[in-house]
Homo-oligomer: A and B are copies of this chain.
Amino acid sequence: MSDLTDRLAQGLPHGGLVVDPDVMAAYSHDMAGFCTAGTPAVVAFPETVEQVQHILRTATDLRVPVVPQGARTGLSGAANAVDGCIVLSMVKMNRILELDPVNRIAVVEPGVVNAELSRAAAGLGLSYPPDPSSWESCTIGGNIGTGAGGLCCVKYGVTSEYVLGLDVVLADGRLLSTGRRTAKGVAGYDLTRLLVGSEGTLGVVVRAVVALRPAPAPQLALAAEFPSADAAGAAVCEVMARGLTPSLMELMDAVTVRAVNELGQMGLPESTQALLLVAFDGPDPAGELAAVGEICRAAGATEVVPAEDQAESELLLEARRLALPALDRLGTTMIDDVAVPRSRLAEMLAGVAEIAERHALTIGVVSHAGDGNTHPIVIFDADDPEESARAQRSFDEIMALGLELGGTITGEHGVGLLKREWLARELGPVALELQRQLKAVFDPLGILNPGKAV
């Protein structure tokens, strides 16, 4: 055993360290494309706060980088190993410590899977809204690291809105407690929100107090077929301008619609250039859907199909669930994550179509339209270096377009390795310098997830 693993083993239970190369290879990366991953020295699986502190103290003593990980479902390479690092997998710290319906909070360890928290909350008539697509496998710790979003965000907001307090092990092993268990609190700077979305570069979350909401009613959905992305974008704007707040508003572009149509045998006509799905979970979803139906028709929808009941809703939403699998069948995929003001959504879609055409690539766009958060999915042949290079270029041009439209390079997936160079472009020099100085306050030796985000 090396000095590192020897030192680590002194404070970890049997089975808490893995150095098997095959296992380490599996833990060396998340689900992002186009990102390099190094070879870890060891993968550690702590089970207690003290063990995490021991690992960080050891890392500081030996100046070894530490890469914190949840379920590795991330899409930006933020959890990718660097050479010689300790991969710090938090998956064994997976207990729900408290569920409190009066204070509407849960206290959880970081390895709790999103869906497990959601189901436990549902058992008490509560919900934990943030619902990234990977919710059946991703962890709350990973969600906090990324600042994860999901389909529900148009109505219920993102992870940041639901994190009230954190226990965090700092780079030198000290334990930091931030935030509160109360509904409100303004004592001192908001370190909790600074840590949400910091991608494991400032500290390792070992416990979180998250807010819960009363469980919403089951949602009722509507599908509307549009002859153009412009028309669908106009409908999205009108829905929001009228003061309606859907629980879900997803838009699929022509590429995605064709792929889904093929995979799911949906029988959508060729004329459908955009498919909008809208749902409500309020007390009168049928009434709200009727209003949305009218808005869609006025915007030029060729077909509007409101569900009559929950089963029909599920059928309509199936189209959205099939989107990624349907596009995956067409080649290697790389998923982008550009959010623009929702008034610019149609321009964003038109711009992406132009980029796809210019690079002779297929790019399907799935959008959380209510948030203006688009996921352009670039499809390419990974065995063709020239096509891969075009894919990479188009991926970058999509980010440039997003910034041009007043948007951000990442709505909910994070910066990680994938968008590191682009972060400087979005933030500008003053913000970037401050961010690096903040990083240095938390992690003066630079051992926490080096090379990621800022």
Contacts and interface: CB of A to CB of B under 8 A. Distances in A.
A196 B181 CA distance: 19
Interface stretch (A29-37, A86-94, A422-430): A422-430
A161 interface: yes
A423 B189 CA distance: 11
Interface in A130-187: 146-147, 149, 153-154, 157-158, 160-161, 170, 174-178, 180-187
Interface stretch (A300-308, A353-361, A368-376, A388-396): A368-376
Contacts of A218: none
B183 A153 contact: yes
A157 to B, nearest CB: 8
B184 A243 contact: no
A438 interface: yes
A126 B244 CA distance: 11
A411 B454 contact: no
A215 B430 CA distance: 37
Contacts of A245: 213-214
- Determine which residue in A102, A241, A373 has the highest number of CB atoms from chain B within 10 A of its CB, and name it: A102
Interface of A: 100-105, 125-126, 146-147, 149, 153-154, 157-158, 160-161, 170, 174-178, 180-191, 193-194, 196-198, 202, 213-215, 237, 240-241, 243-245, 282-284, 339-343, 368, 370-373, 406-415, 419, 423, 426-428, 430-432, 434-435, 437-439, 441-442, 453-454
26 contacts: A102-B237, A102-B343, A103-B342, A103-B343, A104-B240, A125-B243, A147-B186, A147-B190, A153-B183, A153-B184, A154-B183, A161-B161, A174-B430, A176-B430, A176-B434, A182-B340, A182-B373, A182-B406, A183-B372, A184-B412, A186-B411, A188-B454, A189-B198, A190-B194, A191-B431, A214-B244
